[in-house]
Amino acid sequence: MNTLFLECNMGASGDMLMGALYELLPESGQQQFLSAMNGLFPDSVMLSAVPKEKCGIWGTKMNVVILGQTEEDAPAHADGAHPEDASHADDAPEDAMRHASDHGQQADVPRPGTLHHHTTYPEMLSRIDSLPVSSDVKEHAKAVYALIGSAESSAHHTELSQIHFHEVGTWDALIDVVGCCLLFEMLDPEQIIASPIHVGSGSVRCAHGILPVPAPATAEILKDVPIYCGSIEGELCTPTGAALLKHFASQFIAMPPMAVEKTGYGMGTRNFPTANCLRAFWGSMSVLPVPAPRQLPGSYPGRPLSELRGQETRPDLYTEQFHSLDQILELSCNLDDMAPEAVSYAAGLLLDAGALDVYTTAVQMKKGRHGLLLTCLCNPEEESRFSKLILKHTTTRGIRIQPCYRRTLDAQFRKVRTIYGEITVKVSSGYGISKCKPEYDDVVAAAKQCKVPFQKVYDEAMEECRKETAL
């Protein structure tokens, strides 16, 4: 499965994400992307990709030039806020972008004398609809702006239709959003995963004064997304960056095992002791290489093992080059105030609901109390459903969630004929391994019907299975 992993150790902004994604394209794709973006508003807005270095690391800084000036070059706003107040400067601080003193007619493209004009949320959606890009890019861009607009509306108790964006921030952010949506379409990953987001710390200056980091709209967008503050002061995650990640990333977890094929670096504006960049990793997490075949005693490199006299070759874990890795989640909680019967009932409910596995482990808790560790294995997309079941049917107040990666054998079910009747067996195979196991319910039913011990039916089924599969 082609996987795109976004590392947000220094937060995220629209231009940083665009720069990182841009570096993943081949040279021809990069030229195609810039040509498409610079055709959106000819002679009015220009996008360029500039090599930039941070702490000895080279990456790409995406520069948006509007009417001959970049966002960083724009003069201070009339209300006193300046785009450079944002640590990444991919769009103006949220409050500086939304308040208007003038509601005149909005131009379709930027023109001289309109840099301090404002655009409403419905006008922004109309602009996106008029762009010469695919319908998918338009829909994704509008969904990102819906996140931003809804967050602004909630944070400032304003109707969504009344949200306004400052002209310079509007065009800069619009290019960032549309550019990222176009890059995602060009790369076409099968899944997109992001790390927990570093949002920075301290405060940021805006039209209404000093706001804490993350700013209210950014915090609103990042609800249900794992974020953290560090020692770096400043706004590391902007509303545009937050909305893009929230819309496109399916999970926010630490980097999973991946066979990385390419890495892209998107550079921010300001300098910090840590390299101010967002990294994008392209690769596969469904097929991972395993070690090369082991050399048996007496063999030497380049000589086929099958030619070694007196030595048998066998397929094993090391002779298969690739195999599937599945990602699952492990939900667990400690219980020391539930009756064993109640725990058993809760475990049965989880299994009936489709959990991959449920089990308990005896643990010793504080003050010497004996307790149980309840563990439920499930697919990532079903975490919310199983977490709610655990919280509802147990006494725990919290659940630990741990991503796991498992390597499994393929399973098939077969019927084998025995003197006690037909028995279903599960045959597991892969990596040159093959093994079988009779199904419990079939063995029990046959043992009761024939009035023989369970083990006799089980052993007979195993023997027939070995004959059929030549184990």
**pLDDT tens profile 364-395:** 988 888 999 999 999 988 888 999 999 999 99
DSSP category for residue 11? B
Rounded average pLDDT over 83-112:
36
Closest by CA to 208, choosing from 321, 96, 52, 326, is 96
Domain identity same for 381 and 268: no
List C-alpha distances in Å: 108 to 74, 126, 146, 165, 169. Answer: 20, 9, 20, 14, 15
Rounded average pLDDT over 444-466:
93
Q: What is the pLDDT of residue 322?
A: 42
CA atoms lying within 13 Å on the CB side of residue 217 = 29
* Residue at 307 is within a domain: no
Which residues lie closer than 8 Å to 212 by C-beta, 6 or more apart? 202, 203
Q: What is the pLDDT of residue 311?
A: 40
Measure the CA–CA gap between 234 and 261, rounded to whole angstroms.
Answer: 33
Domain count of the chain?
Answer: 3
CA 274 to chain centre: 23
Q: Is residue 99 predicted with pLDDT exceeding 90? A: no
Reported confidence tier of residue 230, pLDDT bands at 50, 70, 90: confident
Domain identity same for 464 and 378: no
Domain identity same for 165 and 267: yes
Q: Are strands 69-70 and 57-66 parallel, antiparallel or unpaired?
A: antiparallel
Measured in degrees and rounded to the nearest 5, phi and psi for residue 233 equal -90, 135
Domain identity same for 128 and 261: yes
* Residue at 302 is within a domain: no
Quote the pTM value.
Answer: 0.59
Domain of residue 382, residue span: 326-406
Alpha helices in 3-93 (DSSP H): 14-24, 27-38
Measure the CA–CA gap between 242 and 197, rounded to whole angstroms.
Answer: 9
Domain identity same for 365 and 264: no
Structure tokens at 452: 């023989």
* Residue at 270 is within a domain: yes
% residues pLDDT > 70 (the chain): 77
Q: What is the pLDDT of residue 275?
A: 92
Measured in degrees and rounded to the nearest 5, phi and psi for residue 192 equal -125, 125
Alpha helices in 50-166 (DSSP H): 94-98, 121-129, 135-156
